[in-house]
Structures are given as structure tokens and as C-alpha cells.
Amino acid sequence: MASYTKSMTDGSEIGNILRFTVPLLIGNLFQQFYNIVDSAIVGRFLGSDKLAAVGATGSITYLFYTLCIGLATGAGILIAQRFGAKDTDSVKRLIANSAYALAALGVVISVVSVICAEQLLRFLETPEAVIGDAASYMRISCAGTVAVAAYNWINSVLRSLGDAKTPLYFLIVASVLNAVLDYLFVVTFSMDVEGAALATIIAQGVSALGSIVFAFAKNPCFRLQREQLALDWHIFAKCLTTGIPIALQNALVSVSMISLQRTANSFDNTNVMAAYTASMRVEQLVQQPFASLNVAVSTFAGQNIGAGKTERAVRGYKKSVLTGFVFSVVMLCVFMLFSYNIVGVFVDEPEVLSIGEKALKLTSLFYFPLGLIHITRGMLNGAGDVGFALINGIAEVVGRIGFAAILVNVPGVGYWAVWGTTCLTWVLTAVMSLLRYKGGRWRRKIMSSDEELKAR
């Protein structure tokens, strides 16, 4: 089992976390490469209006995708804890039942999102000039939610077992495939924005299928007996009760992003929309090291808490916060020097470049609170304090809606309210996360998994 699983309950805390983070980070960067290639090819070959159309779908498609991510994350927390406790039978039952939960969710989201695409975009006040292209892009993207669910499920399971490398290998192949198909569909075959959406879905499906086939062929934890494959309502329910708060947190974050997208759209200025789309793509890229630390800290905490080593999990969290601070300082320097060039990857219109450059400089001042959110969430989730995830999600909704409502009415702020709201929301959410951790409630929330998930 040593080749495809990794226990993080012994050795250097930060060493374990960073070794786990590196392949996660590489994988997340390749994942973002999907979005960057889509945006760059659409923006360069089809123009800023088409880029605005793609960007208009970002918040709502993220909402659907993130429900799958949340449920997969919850399953991963349970598996990490049982793996740390060396309860192999429960690990295998969790693998099977979490797959059933993710498959059902993926199918439902695919159907609903395709049917309601245009109505949702109109709710976001998407300008008529781009709504046709936006709806076409969204229908194709959301039709592939089943592939997204499968991809996030297998990634979460493998990572909870300490294997961050297998998903990476398949993701690299899929990223290259996505880039090739993007150019082929959009430029060579002139398939417009629909080609970019189709390329991404095909590539993600390849990554998911490859990872799943390989895991069942090579990883001993996937060698399931008939009784372990059976639907167990007790374990199925546990996957849902652990994953749903995280899924709801992610959904609420997405709702807050939708609200902010609506604010950006309300200015009825395609330059602002294009700049917002470009800055969001860059922000998603910058978040990847923090997101990778989130998963690494969650897995580290889950395994160690499952093994009864809570203080070791705390030491790993504190060292991860220091790592996040160092990265924030480095990124601040990069964006102060190169924001104009970075935005230029996506667009070449002077007004869009000017807005995007200033936006990136502003948000880079607040990267440490952003990192603190990710790392602290990882610690709390790994400890099983998933209830706070929902509270944290509500805070993001209140922040993005509330700060936006205030800032748009401040004379002289104008469309800068969009990026100012983002920064203030990061600060609010980081403070709440830190207060939750410092309060110690998560220690009382540590799950008694031996009793709750004991094979019956």
C-alpha cells in the first residue's frame, strides 16, 4: 500500500505538508490553465465582447461546480480520519458511498443548469449584447458537471489517502489536451465560445476517467469487496452531513461572487466586465498556493486527529500560516511590478489594461487575509468542525453584498466598488476564521469516527 498511500502522522509537520502541497499546487495551476487558455484564446481571437460573455458565466458555473467540490471535500475528511486511524474497512465503504453521492449530485446539477442557463444569466443582469454567447458557453460547460463531480471525487479520495501525485499526472495530460482542443475548436474550426467550453469539458472528463481507472487498478484501498460496494445508508448519510456544510459554504461564496458579478455587470460597460474577468482569472491563479495549503492542512489535520495526534495538527497549522505570509509578500511585490504585463496576457485594449492593472495592485495588498482564510478553513475542516464552514459562507455573502451596496453609493468610487468589496470581504472572513480557531470550539467538534463509522 506504500506506493499509492502516504501517512502524514510521523516526521516533520511542515515537511509533510509542503511535500503534499507541491503536487497539489502544480495540479491546481494546471487546472487554472484550463481557464486561462479559454480566456486567452477567446480574448485574443474572438475579442473582448466574447471574453465578457465567457466571464459572465463564471460565478454561476462556479456555484454548480463548487457543490460537487464541497461534497467531495467532506468525504475526503472522513476518509483521511479513518485512514489515520488505520480503519481500512471504513475507508473502503466511504469510497463507495461517497461515489454514489457525487454521481447523483452531478446528474441533478447537469440537468438543472442546462435548462435554466439563460434565466440565470438574465438574473445576473448580463447585458443583451453578450447573453446569447454566455448562455451557449454555460450550457455546454454545465452539461459536463458529471465529469466535474467525478474528477473532484477521485481527487479528494486519493488526496485523503496521501496520494497527491496520481491526479497530477492525469491532469497534466488533460491540460495539454485542453490547450490543443481550445485552439483547434475556436481557431481552426471557428466554433466560437462553444468550442472553448467543449474543449474544457472533454479534457476534464479525460482526467477524471484516467484517475479513476488507475486508482482501481493500482491502489489497494480501491479493491472493494461486494459488501463494501453495497449502499450503506449510515455511511452515505455521514458523507452528506459532513459534505453538505462545506458544499453550502462553497455555494454561499459562489452566491456572493454572483452578487459581485451582478454589480460589475450593472455598470453596462464591457471594458469593466472584461477587466473584471481578467482580474478574476489572475486571482484564481494566485489563490492556488493557498488552496493547495488548504487541502494539505486539511488532510494533515484529518490523518493526525484520526490517529489521536491533535497537537501535531496544531503545529502544522501554525507553520502553514507562516508559509502563507511569506507567499503573500512575494506576490505583492510581483503585482506591484508586473500587473500591466499580466493583464496583457488576456486583452490588449488600453482601457481594459488600465483598469485591470490597478485592480490587481489593489487586491494584492490583501493576499495575506486571503491566505489565512484558506489555511484556517483547512485546519477546521480537517478537525471535523464543518459546521463553521456554513457560518463562514454566510459571512462572505454578507460582506460582498453589504460592502458592494455601501461602496457603489460612495461618490467617486464607481466601478472600483467591485474590487474594494473583494478586499474588505477577505478581511472580514479571515477575522471570523481566526476567531473560530482561537476560540477552540473545533477541539470539541472532533468527530468520534470510531463509533460513527465503525463497519456494521
Name the H helices within 162-269: 165-183, 192-218, 226-229, 233-266
Tell me the C-alpha distance between 64 and 331, whole Å.
29
Where does the pLDDT of residue 3 fall: very low under 50, low under 70, confident under 90, or very high at 90 and above?
Answer: low
Q: 333-339: long-range contacts (C-beta < 8 A, 24 or more apart)?
A: 334/364, 335/360, 335/361, 335/364, 336/361, 336/364, 339/364
Is pLDDT at 348 greater than 80 in this prediction? no
Is residue 313 within 8 A of residue 300, CB to CB? The reply is yes
Greater confidence, 408 or 435?
435
Is pLDDT at 454 greater than 70 in this prediction? no
Where does the pLDDT of residue 319 fall: very low under 50, low under 70, confident under 90, or very high at 90 and above?
Answer: very high
Domain spans of the chain, in order of start = 13-444
Where does the pLDDT of residue 448 fall: very low under 50, low under 70, confident under 90, or very high at 90 and above?
Answer: very low
HSE-CB of 455 using CA atoms within 13 angstroms: 15
Neighbours of 43 (CB within 10 A): 26
Q: Pick the closest to residue 249 from 389, 64, 442 (CA basis).
A: 389
Where does the pLDDT of residue 365 fall: very low under 50, low under 70, confident under 90, or very high at 90 and above?
Answer: very high
Tell me the C-alpha distance between 363 and 210, whole Å.
37
The pLDDT value given to residue 31: 72
Q: Helix, strand, coil shares of the chain as percentages rounded to 5?
A: 85, 0, 15
Is pLDDT at 416 greater than 80 in this prediction? yes
Lowest mean pLDDT among 6-15, 173-182, 339-348: 339-348
Is residue 204 within 8 A of residue 418, CB to CB? The reply is no
Where does the pLDDT of residue 366 fall: very low under 50, low under 70, confident under 90, or very high at 90 and above?
Answer: very high
pTM for the predicted model, two decimal places: 0.77
Greater confidence, 434 or 126?
434
Is residue 324 within 8 A of residue 25, CB to CB? The reply is no
Mean pLDDT of the chain: 85
Task: Give per-residue pLDDT as tens, 207-225.
Answer: 889 989 998 988 888 998 9
- Please name the residue that has the C-alpha cell 506504500: 2
Is residue 182 within 8 A of residue 199, CB to CB? The reply is yes
Task: Give per-residue pLDDT as tens, 274-300.
Answer: 888 788 878 878 888 998 899 899 989
Instruction: State mean pLDDT over 111-121.
Output: 86
Instruction: State mean pLDDT over 2-6.
Output: 67
Q: Sign of torsion, CA 112 259 328 271?
A: positive
Phi-psi region of 127 (alpha: psi -120 to 50; beta: other; left: phi over 0): beta
Lowest mean pLDDT among 2-6, 227-231, 308-312: 2-6
Is pLDDT at 35 greater than 80 in this prediction? no
Burial of 440 (0-12, 13-18, 19+ CB in 10 A): exposed
- Please name the residue that has the C-alpha cell 493557498: 290
Where does the pLDDT of residue 445 fall: very low under 50, low under 70, confident under 90, or very high at 90 and above?
Answer: low
Task: Give per-residue pLDDT as tens, 125-137.
Answer: 788 888 888 888 8
Tell me the C-alpha distance between 18 and 12, whole Å.
10
Is pLDDT at 433 greater than 90 in this prediction? yes
The pLDDT value given to residue 1: 44
Which range, 258-267, 367-376, 415-424, has the best average confidence (pLDDT)?
Answer: 367-376
Is residue 90 within 8 A of residue 455, CB to CB? The reply is yes
Where does the pLDDT of residue 455 fall: very low under 50, low under 70, confident under 90, or very high at 90 and above?
Answer: very low
HSE-CB of 288 using CA atoms within 13 angstroms: 19
Grid cell listed for 235: 455511511
Instruction: State mean pLDDT over 227-241.
Output: 87
Where does the pLDDT of residue 367 fall: very low under 50, low under 70, confident under 90, or very high at 90 and above?
Answer: very high
Is pLDDT at 239 greater than 90 in this prediction? no
Is pLDDT at 450 greater than 60 in this prediction? no
